[in-house]
Amino acid sequence: MKKNILGEHVRRVHFIGIGGVSMSGLAEILLAEGYAVTGSDWNASDITRALARKGITVFPGNDAAYITDGIDLVVYTAAVKPDNTELLMARKKNIPTMVRAKLLGLIMKDYKYTVAVSGTHGKTTTTAVLAEVLLRAGLDPTVQIGGYMETIGGNYRVGSSQYFVLEACEYFDSFLQFYPYVGLILNVDSDHLDYFGTMERLTDSFRKFARTISGDGALVINADVPRLEYITEGLRCRVLTYGADSSRRNASHFSARGLRYDNDGLPSFTIMNGACEVADVTLRLRGKHNVNNALAVAAAAHALDIPADSLKNGLSTAIGAKRRFEHKGVHKNGAAVIDDYAHHPTEIKATLAAANNGLYKRIICAFQSHTYTRTQILLDDFAGAFTDCDIVLILPVYAARDAFAESESSGHLAELLTERIRGNGRDAHYFENFDAAREWLTEHARGGDLLITMGAGDIHVLGEKFLSTTSRALNK
């Protein structure tokens, strides 16, 4: 990245909410480029501790005193409220401020081959797999990802080439600040309706994103996306579609022929580009949704002129990102534990379908819904998402960015969700905290069971508590 991408006068940058996955990655990219970086965050975490070890000063909480006269730029996320004390102080001192997405967009402009992965589900996994393909092809990409990727040892890497692969989030229309050479739309599903309000406005946002793609680049889009023609009409760039279903094969540029699953649920298939064979692959990622993600990567690789052998090598070795169907261990009683980031009804269904492969006698899903607004808007959809598991354990809603009264809203919504799940014929239980759920698991889970802890909050702690001092490594 060119040092003057932020302007010649910018030397010191402060991040409000530096502990976020995307913000921390941007902070480290700027640090690697020689900028002095500070930040603040309400929550101490592995991410903030890692930043501190690399020389970034991370202040606790939020305080106007952190905005000193030596700061040249303050970066914040779209979720930061206008009355944030640090943001107000920056503006009082006439220090320039910039929303996270705009900073990321400015960094993107310095790369020729930027690949932005969008969609309401699957962005992190697909970005990780695509990054693996580029790495295996020797292209030394810069990577910005919304999760921990084992190959790069974190959520970002700074490469020396003109390739940049990143997640592109639709929330607050953030991805409209980007400048992709290749853009991916994995799906368009009902999410973030607290901002968009309607599916029509959400679809319009993806339509606008498609129009940010360079005219000599390409849009890669799932053939099953609703209103596909509306999103793609009149685009200057190439449009490459993909889809795993045989019924869509004639309509899709990229499809999967001969799809089959082994005894462990891992898919094998031939990637087809129209009538031409591209590569035979076996994924290390379970589920049909990951077959679709792999096809999206294949189409993006085609748009980037990446050879088929590099594509095959990357797809066959990629393990995705942390907290995506991640094996955590086996309890002493023989119950296996997996952790997954799924926090939307569609994601829950896909993950449970991938787990329901005949290897386990019972599937127990411990679910922690993420944000009150999403839970309220999609309550009935959540209630119907657990048909592929035997027992559902519901924990209080993880508030995240929502500001409702936690003591009232979190438990009330979770109990209401539990009742709705029971109404759909599932065996569902509500627990006020992780310790209560762990006690239930210790008493009722047994050999042959699979426990999946699921959600975008800190639900993984439950699995760790259950396994603590009484587990053995899971050799898979």
255 within 8 A of 243, measured Cβ to Cβ:
yes
179 within 8 A of 209, measured Cβ to Cβ:
no
Pairing of strands 326-331, 336-340: antiparallel
From the candidates 28, 86, 132, 167, give the one annotated as an active-site residue.
167
How far, in Å, CA of 98 to CA of 110, rounded?
18
How far, in Å, CA of 249 to CA of 88, rounded?
54
Cα 189 to chain center, whole Å? 14
Would residue 124 be called left, alpha or beta, if left means φ above 0 and alpha means ψ between -120 and 50 degrees?
alpha
* Rg from Cα positions in the chain: 22
Binding residues: 119-125
From the candidates 38, 114, 124, 212, give the one annotated as an active-site residue.
124
**DSSP collapsed to 3 states, 185-247:** ECCCCCCCHHHHCCHHHHHHHHHHHHCCCCCCCEEEEECCCCCHHHHHCCCCCEEEEEECCHH
Cα 408 to chain center, whole Å? 29
Q: Is 312 a catalytic residue?
A: no
242 within 8 A of 255, measured Cβ to Cβ:
yes
Q: How far is CA 204 from CA 77, 104, 224, 233, 330, in A?
A: 22, 22, 17, 12, 45
How far, in Å, CA of 215 to CA of 305, rounded?
16
Q: Is 167 a catalytic residue?
A: yes
Q: In terms of residues, how long is the chain?
A: 476
Binding residues for ATP: 119-125
Instruction: State the residue for tokens 């993006």.
Output: 300
Rounded to 10 degrees, the C-alpha dihedral 407/409/410/412 comes to 100
Closest CA to 380 of 417, 343, 425, 415: 417
How far, in Å, CA of 78 to CA of 246, rounded?
40
Burial of 348 (0-12, 13-18, 19+ CB in 10 A): buried
Cα 397 to chain center, whole Å? 19
From the candidates 114, 123, 312, 371, give the one annotated as an active-site residue.
123
What is the number of other CB atoms lying within 10 angstroms of the CB of residue 354? Answer: 23
How far, in Å, CA of 146 to CA of 123, rounded?
8
List helix spans (H) across 304-392: 308-317, 345-355, 372-377, 379-383
Q: Is 123 a catalytic residue?
A: yes
Catalogue the active-site residues. Answer: 123-124, 167
